[in-house]
A and B are shown apart, each in its own frame.
Chain A
């Protein structure tokens, strides 16, 4: 029986890791469909961003209360994983509390800390559920999140609460079983949090306790495997991708827009035809109509977004009732990639489906409302730029479709002919000097 369980456990572990790996492969395939590769210059500064933004959560702390609560879940997630390592090894080897004889007293202290974190995570998840569903915090009750995104957020919080409860109940049953003197349950010393649950288990028979302990153990680890494979389909992928996203985030001043070397070269050849090489070919596209026209960083951005809505809450267009929501720009980009991913997984490659990110997922009205004020970029705790996507789509609209409001066409022609966006005679540019 024991051996059978071990084999079953190993099979389940392998299956969940394999499934996870396959999903990550699709995501990385999707990201690599982007136009410009991920930047890799100045690694020192990039690692500093990983430390500050991702690990240090620097930008989260502009909202200190939420930041502390988020930190508890985040620390809980990372640190409790050490305990998960033991659980996995126990499952494979058939041991119980494999690390206890190795660590002795330290083991007891570690579990005590894990339990405190687990209780913290549990409490914060309840508060976060209340913020979303009872208090209706504006950015979390926003129209962007109608349907699946709102459920996604709730599922994760509920899953965390269940996982933490299972972990604590398991430890409580284990402590009760230690009292029986069975050598399979070595004494660990008292745990503080699960110790509070122990009285609830008093009066249970040893057999029942063994069942409770095993059931919690299995449900907890199976829950983690399920979580692992739910993660890459969910907004919660940010717990992994926040790190690479912080690494690849722009190191330039926020005001510097991404250059288009192909256009720069076209203009150079137009101005100095003698420089044009014989084999020069004009670029085949301008800006982004679909995923393949966006920088790879923008695609990583879309997978890293956890839909917190700080960007949208700071967006002047959204705050004055315009259709634009920077968060929705990120969600629409990911939705488009998810759709492509389904096809890639089925057919092994991507074939055009007659749809595009531009128009089919993101409308002209949204793009036109952006003031390029960079509030969204400034706000994002993990270094996402919704503005880069807006700009690339605007470029496609203007340069491929000549789709601009009448007033913009007027301004463009004034800049071209009169060297100013207004229709003034260029000769009058210094007229003010006569009046001073």
Chain B
């Protein structure tokens, strides 16, 4: 089933506006693995019958990695441009699949003149499931399987979103198992603060290997991520341990998409 993805400018041309803007983010737009998450989430939005749009070519990096690396000039430039675009379209609500974009849009843009209601996709997914907007197949492929959830720093500690992704995973009928360090004690995947874009400093272990070991120790069949950077780091970790046949790293949205049944809204279409 093909989905037509509309941009904000499409809506503006028709003189209307969508309920929500899906901020795809750089990883979600360009990274092949993260694109799959983007598509899975787009499919869910479509099934839920929500009116949504993307910015398309008008979207640009929020500036998160620049700010955290210390390049405040670049951050401020990106923030300025993005806020111009977002305010230009009169954006009210944004959903994003990237906790870094989420944090920057939600917490750092307001004092620069960008005020929006920003939610992470795991929060929206929980809302959609709770509200019956999307339905998950009971007794599906996850029954008897174990899922462990990796807390992203910028979703968890930065914004105290711990429960929404877990509530969504619980709806999958799988057994949710926790790693030793979870929630506010969750161990970083090693990608934040600009580390994603440079070689790790010299040490005795890589942060993502350390975290992957902890995830594998739970005996889970799936490692659930909620951030494209965590996703990459954990996937690399699982490959390094040669466990890619035993354990899959998937985004919460992908796990939901696997269990999705046609919701009443989409059947009525």
Contacts and interface: CB of A to CB of B under 8 A. Distances in A.
Bound together = yes
Interface of A: 252-257, 259-260, 263-264, 266-268, 270-271, 286-287, 314, 316-317, 319-324, 365, 368-375, 377-378, 391, 393-399, 404-405, 407-408, 410-412, 415-416, 419-422, 424, 426-433, 435-436
Interface string B182-201: 00110110111111111111
B68 A435 contact: no
Contacts of B218: none
Interface stretch (B37-45, B132-140, B169-177): B37-45
A314 B61 contact: no
B108 A371 contact: no
Number of contact residues on B: which range applies? 35 or more
A260 B72 contact: yes
Nearest to B152: A373
B205 A314 contact: no
A397 B63 contact: no
30 contacts: A253-B103, A253-B107, A253-B159, A254-B158, A255-B154, A255-B158, A256-B108, A257-B68, A271-B77, A316-B210, A320-B210, A321-B202, A321-B203, A371-B153, A371-B207, A372-B194, A373-B193, A375-B185, A375-B187, A378-B157, A398-B70, A407-B197, A419-B59, A420-B60, A422-B30, A428-B30, A430-B54, A433-B56, A435-B35, A436-B39
A195 B192 CA distance: 60
Contacts of A260: 72, 76
Contact of A411 (B35, B65, B67): B65
Nearest to B75: A263
A406 B77 CA distance: 21
B188 A316 contact: yes
Nearest to A419: B60
B269 interface: no
7 smallest CB-CB distances across A and B, nearest first, come from A255-B158, A321-B204, A394-B70, A372-B193, A373-B188, A419-B60, A321-B203
Contact of B39 (A314, A370, A375, A432): A432
Interface in B93-110: 103, 106-108
B72 A415 contact: no
A368 B194 CA distance: 9
B30 A320 contact: no
Contacts of A421: 26, 61, 65, 196-197
Interface of B: 2-3, 5, 7, 24, 26, 28-31, 35, 38-39, 42-43, 54, 56-57, 59-61, 63, 65-74, 76-78, 80, 103, 106-108, 111-112, 153-154, 157-160, 184-185, 187-188, 190-207, 209-211
Given A375-B157, A430-B56, A419 B61 contact: yes
Given A399-B71, A436-B42, A415 B203 contact: no
B184 A378 contact: yes
Contacts of B28: 432
Given A271-B80, A321-B204, A412-B66, A432 B111 contact: no
Contacts of A321: 202-205
Contacts of A397: 70
Contacts of A263: 72-73, 76
Contact of A416 (B3, B74, B201): B74
A320 B80 CA distance: 37
Given A316-B210, A419-B61, A391 B70 contact: yes
Contacts of B211: 316
Nearest to A394: B70
